[in-house]
A and B are shown apart, each in its own frame.
Chain A
């Protein structure tokens, strides 16, 4: 039931890009559940092979909208790495969802030095640093991230830092496509990686790697994927954009129920979407996560967060944090005025509020939320429940 009348869509045919990842669940489930159709849209999902392709097709208009890494709209606005264009988001699609995996031999070294991922990700970071100090003559460790400007890279750097390793000098960080990571780890080309699911679980189930940290442990409820469109597209297709966000908000709300996650895993696994055995998708989506082969699953209900804790809200504080991480990585911090201005035009909290109004959903009144203050679920204001926000 929609109380408020929706404006007619400027265009009904929508091409929506996504990548082969478990947290593509919202864009895929919205299709399976007929939610796009419910909002008068005929959406075609396009699985892309790289974030660069996804960005370029979005910019030239062969995609209307895309699931994007949260830092990517900002990096695209700055022209980092590739094409420069104004991309904005009015809806975050998921929180958390990544993990750091290392080879079994390195995992053994970390464990020998007291690293235990079940205890904390900080302990494995310290274990890694201690292991490195004891083997000063070993080769520089190489870690892979899925993209330069991604939460994967930022989480990896934070984790290394937490143990006392300098991510720029003490290790080498390279970029590899997720689908090449497991094989590269098996062949010893890399020693570890930070990637989204299901690629950690694939390494774990094959006995090729052991998880040493989850994204949630490094940064509780960090923004991960967003719905990106170009500013120009939004200006011409405001009503279509709104309808798309409403469909995706409903899909995220459905995914917020733990009971639905198993079904989502089966849908995602099908040849139409991720085309992978469902066993790879189940651990992270059901939150019964396995850190290394032959270990019992651990309950991690927040491994992926969809639709809870105001997950859809594109907090400006999150955007600014992403830009700070980007600046730190490039060794070129941005001024706070530049940061604020770029985030303001990219993380469109006003668009989120517009969609929340149509669905009568409660919505935060401010654009900023605290970081590193809450170890538990808390009320920001009446009706606004947020998750823990501890970080390294």
Chain B
């Protein structure tokens, strides 16, 4: 293969990720960036076989995949492994690994490739992993907020009917309770709902 040919050829990647939705997003960004995604594989489905079959330039692997130790075993050159891989460490950029780990991703490349060439691909992956992580966290937050709002309404309703007080009074009672117990409003309301909705406890002590 001529040097010029090699420079023009787009990098060939394998993506190891159990989260198929995330993998699809990362793949589509990589393809848009002009990289060739050979295969997307979940954990435990023959990474070694795929490595031998495709001989990728780069492997991008989710941190939550236990297959990282498998990949690192391919750093040892042998008859079974003529193209050893090395962990991509960001070409002298000391912050890279920290950012990548925070985003939940890690990458390996064949030894012969220049780190600069590989970096372009890995930057795309790190950015997508990071964005996905933020999105997921926002989703969790939103769900919790929605759940909290519902539980606050229920707790308010219960207090209002039990003590015959106004909505504002009920809310202020719940807020004081949360502050006293050093809990979030959601947690305090959950406690009130659990207590008041216990079967056989209609406000009167037995």
**Interface residue ranges, A against B (CB under 8 Å):** 49-53, 56-57, 59-60, 62, 80-83, 146-148, 168, 172, 174-177, 179-180, 183, 189, 329-330
**A–B pairs, 10, beta carbons within 8 Å:** A52-B68, A52-B71, A53-B63, A57-B101, A81-B76, A83-B97, A148-B73, A177-B66, A179-B44, A330-B76
Please name all residues of chain B whose beta carbon is closer than 8 Å to the beta carbon of A83 when the two chains form the complex: 87, 89, 97
Verify if B98 is at the interface (C-beta below 8 Å from A): yes
The answer to whether B190 has its CB under 8 Å from any CB of chain A is: no
Residues of chain A lying within 8 A (CB to CB) of residue B65: 49-50
B97 A60 Cβ-Cβ under 8 A: yes
With a cutoff of 8 Å between Cβ atoms, the chain A residues found around residue B101 in the complex are 56-57, 60, 62
CA distance A62 to B103 in the complex (A): 13
Contacts of A60 in B (CB 8 A): 97-98, 101
- Pair B75/A81 contact, Cβ less than 8 Å: yes
| A330-B84 Cα distance, complex, nearest whole Å | 13
In the docked arrangement, what's the CA distance between A53 and B104, Å? 10
Proximity bits, B87-101, A CB within 8 Å = 1, else 0: 101000000011001
Which residues of B from 50 to 71 have beta carbons under 8 Å from A?
A: 63-71
List, in ascending order, chain A residues with CB within 8 A of B146's CB.
none
Pair B76/A50 contact, Cβ less than 8 Å: no
Asked if residues B72 and A52 are in contact (CB atoms below 8 Å), the reply is: yes
- Contact partners of A183 in chain B: CB under 8 A: 44
Cβ contact within 8 Å between B73 and A52: no
- Contact A176-B87, Cβ < 8 Å, known A49-B64, A56-B97: no
Note all chain B residues with C-beta closer than 8 A to A59.
97
- With beta carbons under 8 angstroms apart, the residue of B43, B44, B64, B73 that contacts A81 is B73
- Given A82-B75, A180-B44, is A147 in contact with B69 using a C-beta cutoff of 8 Å? yes
Nearest CB on B from A328, distance (A)? 12
Chain B residues with CB below 8 A from A50, complex form:
65-69
B69-A175 in contact (CB<8A): yes
| Nearest 10 CB-CB pairings of A with B | A175-B73, A177-B66, A81-B72, A52-B68, A82-B87, A50-B68, A49-B66, A81-B75, A148-B73, A180-B44
| Chain B contact residues, CB within 8 Å of chain A | 43-44, 46, 48, 63-73, 75-76, 78, 80, 87, 89, 97-98, 101, 106
Interface centre among A51, A52, A56, A146 (most CB of B within 10 A): A52
**B69 pairs with A172, CB closer than 8 A:** no
Q: In the assembly, what is the distance between CA of A215 and CA of B97, in Å? A: 35
Whether B72 and A82, one on each chain, are in contact in the complex, defined by CB atoms closer than 8 angstroms, is: yes
Give bound CA distance, A168 to B76, whole Å: 12
Known A147-B73, A177-B66; further 19 A-B contacts with Cβ < 8 A: A49-B63, A49-B66, A50-B65, A50-B66, A52-B68, A52-B69, A57-B101, A80-B75, A81-B76, A147-B69, A148-B69, A168-B78, A172-B80, A175-B69, A179-B44, A179-B66, A180-B43, A180-B66, A183-B44
Residues on A with beta carbons closer than 8 Å to the beta carbon of B44: 177, 179-180, 183
| Chain B residues whose C-beta falls within 8 Å of the C-beta of A82 in the assembled complex | 72, 75, 87
Please measure, in the bound complex, the distance between the C-alpha atom of A183 and the C-alpha atom of B45, giving whole angstroms: 11
Question: Which residues of chain A are near B68, meaning CB under 8 Å?
Answer: 49-50, 52-53
The answer to whether B97 touches A146, judged by C-beta atoms less than 8 angstroms apart, is: no
Q: How far is the CA of A45 from the CA of B78 in the complex (A)?
A: 37
Complex Cα distance A329/B80, Å?
Answer: 14
CA distance A183 to B106 in the complex (A): 26
Which residues of chain B are within 8 angstroms of A174 by Cβ–Cβ distance? Answer: 48, 70, 73
By beta carbon, the residue of chain A nearest B65 is: A49
Q: Roughly how many angstroms separate A174 CA and B48 CA in the complex, as a whole number?
A: 9
In the complex, the answer to whether B69 meets A146 with C-beta atoms within 8 Å is yes
How far apart are the CA atoms of A146 and B68 in the complex, in Å? 11
Bound CA span A330–B75, Å: 11
Among the listed A56, A80, A177, which residue makes an inter-chain contact with B106, where contact means beta carbons less than 8 Å apart?
A56
| CB-CB nearest in chain A for B87 | A82
Distance of A57 Cα from B97 Cα, bound (Å): 10
The answer to whether B98 touches A51 (Cβ under 8 A) is: no
Task: Tell me which residues across on chain A come within 8 A of B64, comparing CB atoms.
Answer: 49
| B78 contacts across to A, CB distance below 8 A | 168
A178 to B123 CA separation, bound complex (whole angstroms) = 31
Q: Which of A51, A81, A168, A179 contacts B87 (CB 8 A)?
A: A81
Across the interface, name the chain A residue whose C-beta is closest to B94. Answer: A60
Inter-chain contacts of A177 with B (CB < 8 A): 43-44, 66-67, 69-70
Chain B residue at minimal CB-CB distance from A75:
B72
Q: How far is the CA of A62 from the CA of B100 in the complex (A)?
A: 13
B75 surroundings in chain A (CB, below 8 A): 80-82, 148
Q: Give complex CA distance A366, B70 in Å.
A: 38
How many angstroms between the C-alpha atoms of A125 and B43 in the bound complex? 32
